[in-house]
Structure 1
Amino acid sequence: MAAQQRRRRLLVVVLGAVAAVAVVVVIVVVALGNQGGDGGPAAQKYTGPIAPATRQQDGSVAMANSGVTAPVLDVFEDFQCPACKAMEARVGGTIKKLAAEGRVKVVYRPFQLFQQDPLMSNSRRAANAAACMPADHWVKYHDKLYAEQPPEGDKGFSNPDLIKWAGQLGVTDPAFAACVNGAQKIGQVDQATAYAGKVGVTATPYLALNGRQLGDDALASSDALQKAVAQAGSGTPRSAGTAPAQR
């Protein structure tokens, strides 16, 4: 009888410990779920207006209201880069909001960062497709590419998928499909990559405000980025170097 009672007490203790561990696991999972993809605070999806996007001479895409020329926020990114996707989830909406409010001119500069396959080819196909995309659909396509980013190490961003996703956004012009399938903008991608190297970009995401790289602290949250832009004010607009003309 005494042995049975001891076994019952031991079972109660073990079950109690298991329950406690389960509670801790649930708490950790919930906490991680409330963070961004790289451990930063989660950001709400931006659903407000988008400033007009225009293709610049060098192939980059400017997003700004009419007449807004400063401050300039250059966004160097690779659509295959997981850290870029995490940054976009964290402050991408804030970037759009700041541009829509006329507080900044954003210049998106996609390029090829990775040098080994399959990442390199994924990056080049995505950047080429983005360069093929008409400016009036570019921002939505930019976001779609991040939403469909393949896992690191997997082959992805196939031409059929890149064309299909464009169609889902209303871009069905055969010229876009031809541009993607024929890699017609790959020279522009190579120029953008060379320009990023000239600026000194060795990792992404790389954001520069009026020509000066923003630190991780400025990209840690929506509030931090808004503060950095406010401090930059409307000083002399200066992009991160002088990009080559598009060929």
Structure 2
Amino acid sequence: MGKAARDQSARDRIKAQRAEQMLKERRKRMATIGTAAVLAIAAVGAGWWFAAQSSRSELVGAELAPITVAADGSVVMAKAGVDKPVLDVFEDFQCPACRALEETSGPTIKNLAAEGKAKVVYHPITIFHEQTNKGITRGNSVRAGAASRCIPGGAPWSRFHDKLFDEQPSETEEGFKIPDLIAWGKDAGVTDPGFDTCVTGQTKAADHLAYSTKVLETQKLTGTPTLKLNGTEVDTNVAFKPAELRQAVLDAAK
């Protein structure tokens, strides 16, 4: 083989080696990019997973904490001896956002009380003015709130409470009619002989409205639903995320 042929052969080998090295480097870069992409996707997926977990509703446990209706109309759900942290729930049975909160975080609130992790205090109130939809929404709210006061406590109160939100009427139509309220109470397990008369005569309506006015003024509420943890208002972004709400309550107990 002549010198020229040997030189050409050497150049070809060098060219081939360079091409092979470039191919290896390209594959390495592609592998790095692929790994980064997988990690990025995983990070995004983890973010979505965390958000989904934070928003996922719990299932209500088999047993509820004892439920007692106080003289002022507030309702305490707590195990014996549990007096803190205190989670106050201000709600209106005609309020759509309150229904959304109940559907999302209601089970968590019940579970925290049943687990002895919190003393839960419900405050059913009416926030609507008379002129709202010609008084329709206010009338609905008052009838429901007054009827809930006709139940002395226990699991029937909680079942009736949940039923009211399940059957919440539109804000533009009359709902929570007396016959329905009585039937729902019976379905909830109410056996008090005075329940029918109490609901039919709206015996507790005046007390309900007086308590609503007092709560709105003393608690300086701007609307419902409002959760307060040891007297401090819970951010909406926490209240509507069961996992974050649970953690906030657990942190408050430390």
TM-score of Structure 1 vs Structure 2, range by shorter chain: 0.7 to 0.9
Aligned to 2:120: 106
Residue aligned with 2:207, SS: helix
Aligned to 2:24: none
191, 197, 211: which one pairs with 1:192? 211
Instruction: Summarize the alignment of residues 207-222 of structure 1 with structure 2, pairs less than 5 Å apart.
Output: 207-222=227-242
Aligned to 1:19: none
Report the CA distance between 1:68 and its aligned residue: 0.3
Instruction: Return the alpha-carbon distance in structure 1 between the equivalents of residues 67 and 191 of structure 2.
Output: 19
Instruction: Return the alpha-carbon distance in structure 2 between the equivalents of residues 99 and 172 of structure 1.
Output: 25
Instruction: Return the alpha-carbon distance in structure 1 between the equivalents of residues 117 and 58 of structure 2.
Output: 20
52, 66, 71: which one pairs with 1:52? 66
Confirm whether residue 168 of structure 1 aligns to residue 215 of structure 2.
Answer: no
Residue aligned with 1:118, SS: helix
Report the CA distance between 1:221 and its aligned residue: 1.2
- Conserved 8 A contact 1:109-1:192: no
Aligned to 1:120: 138
For residues 157-183 of structure 1, give each alpha carbon's deviation from its aligned partner in whole angstroms, at most 9, with x where no partner exists.
011100010111222444101001111
Aligned to 1:202: 222
177, 180, 189: which one pairs with 2:199? 180
Instruction: Return the alpha-carbon distance in structure 2 between the equivalents of residues 156 and 99 of structure 1.
Output: 31
Identical amino acids, percent of aligned pairs = 44
Give the aligned residue type for 1:78: D
Give the aligned residue type for 1:109: H
Report the CA distance between 1:218 and its aligned residue: 1.5
Instruction: Return the alpha-carbon distance in structure 2 between the equivalents of residues 55 and 170 of structure 1.
Output: 16
Residue aligned with 1:197, SS: helix
Give the aligned residue type for 2:117: R
- Conserved 8 A contact 1:110-1:192: no
Instruction: Return the alpha-carbon distance in structure 1 between the equivalents of residues 234 and 242 of structure 2.
Output: 14
Give the alignment's Cα RMSD to 1 decimal: 1.6
Instruction: Return the alpha-carbon distance in structure 2 between the equivalents of residues 49 and 62 of structure 1.
Output: 15
Instruction: Kindly name which structure, 1 or 2, has the bigger radius of gyration based on alpha carbons.
Output: 2
Give the aligned residue type for 1:122: N
Give the aligned residue type for 1:233: A
For residues 197-232 of structure 1, give each alpha carbon's deviation from its aligned partner in whole angstroms, at most 9, with x where no partner exists.
221112110111111111112113111101110121
Give the aligned residue type for 1:126: A
Instruction: Return the alpha-carbon distance in structure 2 between the equivalents of residues 212 and 47 of structure 1.
Output: 27
Instruction: Return the alpha-carbon distance in structure 1 between the equivalents of residues 55 and 252 of structure 2.
Output: 24
Report the CA distance between 1:113 and its aligned residue: 1.0
In structure 2, stretches of 5+ residues that fail to align are 1-51
Give the aligned residue type for 2:125: F
Greater helix proportion: 2
Give the aligned residue type for 1:48: A
Instruction: Return the alpha-carbon distance in structure 2 between the equivalents of residues 170 and 57 of structure 1.
Output: 21
Instruction: Return the alpha-carbon distance in structure 2 between the equivalents of residues 42 and 223 of structure 1.
Output: 8
Instruction: Return the alpha-carbon distance in structure 2 between the equivalents of residues 229 and 111 of structure 1.
Output: 23
Instruction: Return the alpha-carbon distance in structure 2 between the equivalents of residues 192 and 207 of structure 1.
Output: 17
TM-score by length of 1: 0.75
- Conserved 8 A contact 2:136-2:174: yes
- Conserved 8 A contact 1:48-1:97: no
Residue aligned with 1:132, SS: coil
Instruction: Return the alpha-carbon distance in structure 1 between the equivalents of residues 179 and 206 of structure 2.
Output: 21
Aligned to 1:16: none
TM-score by length of 2: 0.73
Aligned to 2:14: none
Aligned to 1:130: 148
Report the CA distance between 1:152 and its aligned residue: 2.1
